[in-house]
Amino acid sequence: ETGVTQTPRHLVMGMTNKKSLKCEQHLGHNAMYWYKQSAKKPLELMFVYNFKEQTENNSVPSRFSPECPNSSHLFLHLHTLQPEDSALYLCASSQDGASGSNEQFFGPGTRLTVL
Amino acid sequence: GQNIDQPTEMTATEGAIVQINCTYQTSGFNGLFWYQQHAGEAPTFLSYNVLDGLEEKGRFSSFLSRSKGYSYLLLKELQMKDSASYLCAVRDGDYKLSFGAGTTVTVRA
């Protein structure tokens, strides 16, 4: 039990669909992150929110749209995705940005398949 | 850009010791992390180094040399449950973690 939950755990969608991934953290953290993990590739940071403000957008295509309504919830809205977007999408949270170890706690991920 | 290298795979016997090396070239440095990820599960935090030297935590130790851009994770008294992927990550600046591709460790009986 990591304290970070993600739904759904698995998602299959067509290229014309619109769907959303949800992340919730129960750790009282102030920073939240979206990562993409593709097979045999490094984890790629997509977005960072700190105190609900977006502080990092790592050149992510506009078909991925994040939303952070409060420090506990993070969404990733998906539309008109491509098959190469199929991957494991991981959410993480940390206390804040850079003080101390400030390790990131990861959720179990959403396995996304785009047909 | 960021460049973080670690071996793709390693195999070791139960009870043995394995050392996973990580070399990095990054535009900034604000700490190095090791995470463990079992297949189909979330990465979990193992260790953090920001100063040169060895950090020991039970069977796991992590070493850092900032001048050499080098770290290693040492796993002692290997157990079957240690079979997993081990991810090296460098924090560059305030928030951004750049990850290596991970080292898959297989522990054999």
DSSP letter for each residue of B2-52: -EEE--SEEEEETT--EEEEEEEE-S--S-EEEEEE-TTS--EEEEEE-SS
Which of chain A's residues have a Cβ under 8 Å away from the Cβ of B24?
Answer: none
Q: What's the rounded mean pLDDT across residues A83-98?
A: 89
Q: What's the rounded mean pLDDT across residues A22-30?
A: 95
What pLDDT band is residue A2 in, cutting at 50, 70 and 90? low
Taking CA–CA distances from A89, the nearest residue in chain B reads B42
What pLDDT band is residue A115 in, cutting at 50, 70 and 90? very high
Q: Tokens representing B97? A: 């973690």
What pLDDT band is residue B101 in, cutting at 50, 70 and 90? very high
* pLDDT tens digits for range B39-75: 988 999 999 999 999 999 999 999 999 999 999 999 9
Per-residue pLDDT at A59 exceeds 90? no
CB–CB contact B95 A90 (8 Å): no
